Amino acid sequence: MATFIYRAKSADGRLIEETIDAENERLVRNVLRERKLTIISIEKKSVAGLRSDIFSTLKKWKKVKEQALTIFSRQFATMINAGLAIVRCLDILAEQTEDAKLQETLILVRKDVEGGQSLSGALGKYPDVFSTLYVSMIKAGELGGVLDEVLERLAGFLESDFTLKKKVKAAMTYPVVIMVMAILIVAFLVTFILPTFVDLFEGMNLKLPLPTRVLIGVTKGSKNPVALVGTFIFVVTAWYLFKKYVKTPSGKRNFDQFKLAMPVMGLLNKKVAISRFCRTLGTLLSSGVPIMQALEIVGKASGNEVIADTVSKVRDSIREGESIAGPLADSGMFPPMVTQMVAVGEETGNLDAMLSKIADFYDTEVEYLLSSLTSLLEPIMILGMGGIVGFIVIAVFLPLYQLIGKFTG
């Protein structure tokens, strides 16, 4: 497939100069005619455009920031509520957003909407920017004539989700920084300071204690290219095999179960998963998305095979005319409080509101757990770092004590 640069005029007279990938020039012309563009020129990109291609590929990998998408949704809702046309809203939002990829996407969405396509259909062309959840809610808003309300709910959902992720990352930052600093300090000692002591110890006619022998082995290994290359190859190979295994259905399911069963982090992961499940399902239901479609979206958006399996059982239960609470309780993933509140929500017809309350409760639980986890990790990290430094000190001073004892004896 080749890349072509084209210059064309839109129906309103604007000059457009962009690139497009196609098998040949004829297909490019067909695509441009379908977009109702007046073609000025089409040129095949030469090899000299390799640098541009690299930048283009890097741009495709770049993701739209969640905060930018939240602001876009909130402003879009305000403009729709004020009575502005969708095309005009997209124009204004594309101009004022600071996210380059979102801006580029909104320009393309605007063209599709201007060409007669629905907003949900135009957004659905860019799954790397607008998720299935986002597109489905927009579609429900279009069908129900409440697009502004749906966009407000979307903005609220994105803000809550973003805040939760931010809290988790912030809580993990301090322990990670401490760990990295400890590794760097130990690496510095082993590489630059300890070799002097190693040379001294090897010149002694002493039987070196075990800690000293271990320290000498580590120090020599850190300066041995064969050992370093071998360790690097082992780590890279293990990581590659692990990633391959996790991509398989059974591997992903086992890894997701492991994440939920971990001693401390497992509880945190479970609370985050429950909060996200309830928030997503509640937002979809309150926006008018049918329950079966909402559950399908929740299963795909969960990112956890254990949750996805539970959602699949819930769908089967509803299809057979049963309740949602039953399969949730049977899964063992959801605590009794959650299943009871869901059951009450089903009975009263306020399931979406009840799910939102559960999500708010678990967001608070996650915040408290993160605070406790940070307080717990701090002394553990200090103790671990102290243990490493203590081992080095003992390994260095034990032979010196032996040497002093030999001289005094």
pLDDT bin (cut points 50, 70, 90) of residue 47 is very low
pLDDT bin (cut points 50, 70, 90) of residue 51 is very low
pLDDT bin (cut points 50, 70, 90) of residue 401 is confident
How distant, in Å, are the alpha carbons of 200, 207, 391 from that of 395?
Answer: 13, 13, 6
Q: Which of 3-17, 135-149, 272-286, 361-375 has the lowest mean pLDDT?
A: 3-17
The arithmetic mean of pLDDT across residues 40-65, rounded, is: 58
Looking at residue 202, its pLDDT comes to 67
Q: What is the largest CA-CA distance in the chain?
A: 101
Report helix, strand and coil shares of the chain as percent, to nearest 5.
75, 5, 15
Kindly report, residue by residue over 244-290, the tens digit of the pLDDT. 888 888 888 888 888 888 877 788 888 888 888 888 888 888 878 88
Fold of 2-61: Ubiquitin-like (UB roll) (3.10.20)
pLDDT of 74 above 90: no
Q: What is the pTM assigned to this prediction?
A: 0.61
Q: Which amino acid is at 177?
A: V
Q: For 66-159, CATH number? A: 1.20.81.30
Pairing of strands 2-9, 38-44: antiparallel
Looking at residue 325, its pLDDT comes to 85
Q: Which residue has the higher pLDDT, 57 or 258?
A: 258
Q: Which CATH superfamily is domain 165-409 in?
A: Type II secretion system (T2SS), domain F (1.20.81.30)
Kindly report, residue by residue over 350-372, the tens digit of the pLDDT. 888 898 899 888 888 888 887 77
Neighbour count for residue 130 (Cβ, 10 Å): 20
Residue ranges matching CATH 3.10.20 in the chain: 2-61
Run of H or E residues at 2: strand 2-9
Give me the count of residues in the chain. Answer: 409
pLDDT of 48 above 50: no
Looking at residue 1, its pLDDT comes to 65
Residue ranges matching CATH 1.20.81.30 in the chain: 66-159, 165-409
Rounded to the nearest integer, the mean pLDDT of the chain is: 80
Q: What percent of the chain has pLDDT over 90?
A: 3
Looking at residue 50, its pLDDT comes to 44
The arithmetic mean of pLDDT across residues 14-40, rounded, is: 80
pLDDT bin (cut points 50, 70, 90) of residue 204 is low
Kindly report, residue by residue over 214-242, the tens digit of the pLDDT. 877 877 777 778 877 888 899 999 999 99
The arithmetic mean of pLDDT across residues 8-16, rounded, is: 72
Kindly report, residue by residue over 151-196, the tens digit of the pLDDT. 887 788 788 778 777 777 777 777 778 778 877 877 777 777 777 7
Rounded to 5 degrees, what are φ and ψ at 41?
A: -155, 150
Looking at residue 13, its pLDDT comes to 62
